Structure 1
């Protein structure tokens, strides 16, 4: 195994257009160098693999599930893979969006935090005079006490929040993140365990950006917006730049 395989990154000869390309690579693993490298990173001995079957999942943090049969053993390894496809140098990617009430249920939000988030997304109109936007409030428009309460709650629940929005819960929680980037000049990929990604994207300080959004490490929390003014614009969303993961690779 070479250092590039160990580090989990490689320049790709051809870009990946969608999850189906990833699935096809795994299903043709015996002839596909990328799939062989991915399986090696996942700690499988290629000589011991009997069969690989990859399937697409919808509605979960896992996009592709890989089932690996091992020779001479009645064992099937299952790996849940989250795929991030990027076609630019930087590519902000929505990793989760829901109504505030759904997050409140998931994370047992106190009523005061629920109200703050709903004013932030616009479900509740602004409670200040001359807001920057008549439809909603930005975090720096809340009182110092409200900002402190929100910061404290986010800090206290940071591990749970980061895990839920990146890994998910249950049997289809993602265990790996594969970022595949194809631009006009190059194609490359990076594959990392989800535990590594949770730490990388979520371990830095909590802060308020110049635009008035909270950041949890490298994860931006913001009002969804857009949607031609429909109510769904008032949802809360979390975004990352998956290409940041390439910075963890030293070749």
Structure 2
């Protein structure tokens, strides 16, 4: 497992994705980047050049193009970056309106409606619950089973969308940078990440939210009362990737 901590990573800093792009572009003089390239399966003496850039509004934060001396090919790698400031570091991996998820995952209309009650996009249908939204454990047993069955039946598909995404900018790697007392990083291939967060059942938590393997689903909340508080979000603890 490739990981690094200490003076080199602290000295150069990881303030933003742009800093990581700079490290890739100056790979010959950057010990951290040399470790990343080795982790990605390269022999340093077979690399002709490395070019990287930031990508916006996709699962991929950084795209790296590597030109090889052994065969003349240019390999493209998409990397998602997660920056943590504490040991738990829960991090949002996806956030959208319920209707968007319905289109993506073919969520049945009745399940979609329940999820909108959950986020508060539709106001509660009973008087004895929070005025802004409902929790999953406030639905009837049949309604709860409806939601659970959908996420159980589509679990892997959903988790792949949440972590890797789709299309030309789907992520192939996740780079986690943790900045606590000391700074450390871990670079993991996306299939290994998906496998890790897929482990575990789909169930309703004691707080009335949903757990999908090791991924948490909840209402976004916050936003000073704006409508965007009623979006659905999914969160992980990327710090766990240091343990696998």
Normalising by structure 1, what TM-score? Answer: 0.93
The reply on whether 1:71 has 2:61 as its aligned counterpart is no
Report the Cα offset of residue 203 of structure 1: 2.3
- Gaps (5+ residues) in structure 2? none
Determine the structure 1 residue equivalent to 2:238: 242
Report the Cα offset of residue 224 of structure 1: 0.5
**CA deviation vs aligned residue, 1:135-181 (integer Å, no higher than 9, x gap):** 11000101111111111100111111111111000010000000000
Report the Cα offset of residue 77 of structure 1: 0.7
**CA deviation vs aligned residue, 1:65-96 (integer Å, no higher than 9, x gap):** 00000015331011100000111121111111
Conservation of the 8 A alpha-carbon contact between 1:81 and 1:176:
yes
**CA deviation vs aligned residue, 1:40-66 (integer Å, no higher than 9, x gap):** 111011110000001000011000000
Provide closer, same or farther for how the CA distance between residues 11 and 201 of structure 1 changes in structure 2, counting only shifts above 3 A. same
1:187-198 paired onto structure 2 within 5 Å: 187-198=183-194
Report the Cα offset of residue 243 of structure 1: 0.7
Counterpart secondary structure, 2:58: coil
Conservation of the 8 A alpha-carbon contact between 1:12 and 1:189:
no
Distance between the aligned counterparts of 1:76 and 1:204, measured in 2? 38
| Residues paired across the two proteins, number | 240
Determine the structure 2 residue equivalent to 1:233: 229
1:3-22 paired onto structure 2 within 5 Å: 7-13=1-7, 14=10, 15-22=13-20
Determine the structure 2 residue equivalent to 1:47: 45
Task: Tell me whether 172-181 or 194-203 shows the greater mean CA deviation.
Answer: 194-203
1:38-117 paired onto structure 2 within 5 Å: 38-117=36-115
1:132-147 paired onto structure 2 within 5 Å: 133-147=130-144
Match of 1:162 among 152, 156, 159: 159
Counterpart secondary structure, 1:177: strand
**CA deviation vs aligned residue, 1:103-137 (integer Å, no higher than 9, x gap):** 00000110111011000001111122311x11110
Distance between the aligned counterparts of 2:60 and 2:44, measured in 1? 23
Report the Cα offset of residue 38 of structure 1: 0.5
1:167-182 paired onto structure 2 within 5 Å: 167-182=164-179
Distance between the aligned counterparts of 2:6 and 2:234, measured in 1? 29
Distance between the aligned counterparts of 1:34 and 1:202, measured in 2? 29
Provide closer, same or farther for how the CA distance between residues 12 and 179 of structure 1 changes in structure 2, counting only shifts above 3 A. farther
Conservation of the 8 A alpha-carbon contact between 1:11 and 1:188:
yes
Determine the structure 1 residue equivalent to 2:195: 199
Distance between the aligned counterparts of 1:50 and 1:145, measured in 2? 60
Moved over 2 A (4+): none
Match of 1:129 among 127, 130, 136: 127
Counterpart secondary structure, 2:148: helix
